[in-house]
């Protein structure tokens, strides 16, 4: 419930720009101490800034690109990554596809798989999968998060924890050896953590523009990944790290 409330406070402030402590207490029906603790979390993430008597939204800290913007960015690279990642999927697999635009593109490369089960929180993924009745699609449900057209929240995570999967295919907005794998959204980061927990294998899909980028919320260390699929060979320090951590690196362009 705390996680949901913090996400709701984040959305409330993003919409309004600012709010007093009293306003937040009334709107969310909690005490000032609770609101202060929640705001402390958001302040630590750089989402809000404290001002006298309240807080303001820090617009510079977490600008989340729209689905349309993300779909047209690095389109050719994403398509190649998705196609290569799809080669890892075999008949009878149970896989998780997160809400990343690169991950969603995998579906059209999987149409010849038999008895494939896809677990996803992505509305675009569900829309694409509708054209292929041979897929068994499980939707997490939960609260619709408009910036990424994905289902998030306590209900979605609770449902996920009841399932088991062979491989999860994840996207990220940033990869750093020191700061880990990061994402724009706090609530989506929590979803990704649960997806990793219930999967036997973790595959990260990331084009070259994501390296040495740090976004708002860390959801994993690079060492938590079993395989990295990217379009260009990463810098030597990443290759060395992946070799030391036994992470397979698959590059689509040579």
Q: Domain 2-57, what fold?
A: Arc Repressor Mutant, subunit A (1.10.10)
Distance CA 118, CA 72 (A): 24
Residue 65 has pLDDT above 70, yes or no: no
CATH code for the structural domain at 67-251: 3.40.50.1360
Q: Both ends of the chain: CA-CA distance in Å?
A: 47
Q: Which two tokens stand for residue 254?
A: 């040579």
Which residue intervals of the chain are DSSP H helices? 2-16, 21-28, 32-44, 67-72, 75-86, 101-104, 123-129, 154-160, 186-197, 236-244
Distance CA 166, CA 76 (A): 27
Residue 72 has pLDDT above 50, yes or no: no
The segment(s) of the chain belonging to CATH 1.10.10.10 are 2-57
Residue 139 has pLDDT above 80, yes or no: yes
Instruction: Read off the pLDDT of residues 177-219 as tens digits, 9 standing for 90 and up.
Output: 999 999 888 888 999 999 999 999 999 999 998 999 888 789 9
HSE-up of residue 124 (Cα within 13 Å, Cβ side): 22
Residue among 177, 187, 253 at smallest CA distance from 210 = 177
The segment(s) of the chain belonging to CATH 3.40.50.1360 are 67-251
> What's the mean pLDDT in 138-146?
89
> What's the mean pLDDT in 64-80?
60
Give CA 182 to chain center in angstroms. Answer: 8
What does pLDDT average to over the chain?
Answer: 88
């Amino acid at each position: 419930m705390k996680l949901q409330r913090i996400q709701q406070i984040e959305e409330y402030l993003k919409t309004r720009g600012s709010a007093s402590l009293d306003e937040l207490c009334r709107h969310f029906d909690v005490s000032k101490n609770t609101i202060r603790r929640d705001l402390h979390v958001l302040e630590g993430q750089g989402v809000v800034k404290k001002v006298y008597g309240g807080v303001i939204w820090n617009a510079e800290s977490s600008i989340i690109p729209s689905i349309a913007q993300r779909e047209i960015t690095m389109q050719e690279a994403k398509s190649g990554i998705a196609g290569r990642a799809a080669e890892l999927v075999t008949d009878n697999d149970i896989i998780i596809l997160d809400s990343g635009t690169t991950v969603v593109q995998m579906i059209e490369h999987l149409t010849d798989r038999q008895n494939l089960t896809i677990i996803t929180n992505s509305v675009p993924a569900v829309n694409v999968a509708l054209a292929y009745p041979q897929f068994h699609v499980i939707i997490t449900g939960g609260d619709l998060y408009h910036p990424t057209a994905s289902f998030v929240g306590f209900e979605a995570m609770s449902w996920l924890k009841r399932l088991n999967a062979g491989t999860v295919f994840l996207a990220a907005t940033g990869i750093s050896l020191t700061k880990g794998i990061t994402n724009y959204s706090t609530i989506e980061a929590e979803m990704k953590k649960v997806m990793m927990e219930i999967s036997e294998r973790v595959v990260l899909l990331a084009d070259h523009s994501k390296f040495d980028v740090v976004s708002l919320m860390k959801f994993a260390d690079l060492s938590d990944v079993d395989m990295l699929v990217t379009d260009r060979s990463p810098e030597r320090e990443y290759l060395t790290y992946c070799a030391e951590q036994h992470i397979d690196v698959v590059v689509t362009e040579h």
